[in-house]
Amino acid sequence: MGSDKSNRGIVTVLGKDQIGIIAWVSGKLAENKVNILDISQTILQDFFTMIMVVDLSTSVIEMGELAVILRTEGQARGLQVNIQHEDVFTYMHRV
């Protein structure tokens, strides 16, 4: 596994569709110098779902602290927002 993989994270967002979700999440990531590498989002009926692959190598805070910010501020917006290292995500979701 290359060193770039160990610096990547997976952000997941789930909640009722509303204006500004992508802007808010991407803004929080940008504030903390986290780069978005890939993004997939869709709306299933009235539910917004999004998965992002992000580069954490230039982040100005620890991933755990970022996770708390995203989770807490997301809950206030009615969203479920999580972030985890790519290798943990891959391990948990292997077939």
Asked if the model's pLDDT at residue 1 lies above 70, the reply is no
Task: Please state the domain count of the chain.
Answer: 1
Sort 58 into a burial class: Cβ within 10 Å, 0-12 / 13-18 / 19+. Answer: exposed
Tokens of 61: 């805070």
Render pLDDT for 40-87 as a digit per residue (tens, 0 to 9).
999 999 899 999 999 999 999 999 999 999 999 999 999 999 999 987
Parent domain of 40 = 3-92
Kindly report the CATH number assigned to the domain that includes residue 64. Answer: 3.30.70.260
Asked if the model's pLDDT at residue 94 lies above 70, the reply is no
Asked if the model's pLDDT at residue 92 lies above 70, the reply is no
* Per-residue confidence (pLDDT) for residue 59, from 0 to 100: 96
Whether the full predicted model's pTM is greater than 0.75, yes or no, is yes
Q: What residues contact residue 48 under an 8 Å CB cut-off, 6+ apart? A: 13, 14, 15, 16, 17, 18, 21, 41, 79
Within 13 Å, how many C-alpha atoms sit on residue 23's CB side? 4
To which residue do tokens 């501020």 refer?
73
